[in-house]
A and B are shown apart, each in its own frame.
Chain A
Amino acid sequence: MTNLDDLKTRLKIAKSKLQKKALEKDDKKKGVFLGNAFKLGSELVAAVAVGTIIGFILDNWFDTKPILIIIFFLFGAAAGITNVFRAAKRMQEQED
């Protein structure tokens, strides 16, 4: 009887340890997802910002105030989406 009880407690401990490990793994995965989300977001924002800044500078040069900034904002958005697309592709390659 004592042997069985002993086994029971040992099983319990082992099970709780396994659960803890699974939780830790989940936490790690969460961190990776967070990193990926940040990565994609910053790629998009950075390209839009760079495009807008280029448009702003060119506008000041050529004195065509609102036109170039609008055009380059759109170019920046396009570049941002290209960046995000590429980054996502790289992530997929890494996962496989």
Chain B
Amino acid sequence: MAANPMHQFKVHTIGPEIEISGVNLSFTNASLFMTISGVLIIALLLLGTREKKLIPSKAQLLSEMLYNFIAKMISDTAGKKAKPFFPFIFSLFVFILFCNMVGMLPYSFTVTSHIIVTLTFAIFIFIGVTILGFIMHGFKYLKIFVPSGVPLVLLPIISIIEIISYLSRPISLSVRLFANMMAGHTMLKVFGGFVISLGLIGGWLPLTFSVALTGLEILVAFLQAYVFAILTCIYLNDALNLHH
């Protein structure tokens, strides 16, 4: 068996090694696929918004649907106050979606299957939302750690639990996306390996599994991008509309 199921997650540099003051800044396959996703997004949106027809072309339809989808999600979960954050949520969702989908192509690399990428997203969101909460409410923002209607005796314990629960947000957000992507791609590779090793006679069963799993993986890729965006909206809502 030549195929190692974890080999697909290996990051290697493309072109020369670049090192600036001890920091490795080489162009890797991860950066390549991030760039590809970015270029694809820009191409789709430019194509979709180039000419505004009454009867839309496919690209225009797709970009309009994306816009409506995110706009509805934000207004449903975070209310009108979150409208200024539309560009952020939109780019976040579309970037994760495209990274996941580009990763579904054979021979490609899934950027979101690395914890460092997803954790960076999540920590940025976490810090941003916390700062936003303090800007909007001042020190009253600390009230989210003190739920109303709790007896004074229990308050210290509840507060500690609330703080831990608040701090666990970026971890659960990032681990979910990373674990889903990595588990799915490993599973696909393992079943693919079975097809080869079982040969012409027994290989058909894992092959059908592989096909079914690919469909499921595409669904998961979309779903995880959606979950990531909607949880960002929920955290934004907590910061904007303080109530507990």
Contacts and interface: CB of A to CB of B under 8 A. Distances in A.
Given A27-B216, A31-B219, A50 B167 contact: yes
B172 A43 contact: yes
Contacts of B157: 75
Nearest to B234: A90
B215 A83 contact: no
Contacts of B234: 90
Interface string A27-60: 1101110110011001101110111001000000
A51 B164 contact: yes
Summarize A's interface: helix, strand, loop or mixed: helix
Interface residues of A, number: 27
A28 B168 contact: no
Nearest to A44: B172
Given A27-B215, A28-B219, A76 B164 contact: yes
B171 interface: yes
Which size bracket describes the interface of B in this complex?
20 to 34
B4 interface: no
Given A45-B175, A75-B160, A35 B168 contact: no
Contacts of B179: 38, 42
B164 A75 contact: yes
A78 B165 CA distance: 9
Interface in A46-96: 46-47, 49-51, 54, 72, 75-76, 78-80, 82-83, 90
B220 A31 contact: yes
Contacts of B189: none
A38 B224 CA distance: 10
Interface of A: 27-28, 30-32, 34-35, 38-39, 42-43, 45-47, 49-51, 54, 72, 75-76, 78-80, 82-83, 90
9 contacts: A31-B220, A31-B223, A35-B220, A42-B175, A46-B172, A50-B168, A75-B157, A75-B161, A82-B162
Interface of B: 157, 160-162, 164-165, 167-169, 171-172, 175-176, 179-180, 212, 215-216, 219-220, 223-224, 227, 234
Q: Which 7 A-B pairs have the closest CB atoms?
A: A46-B172, A46-B171, A79-B164, A31-B219, A47-B168, A79-B165, A46-B168
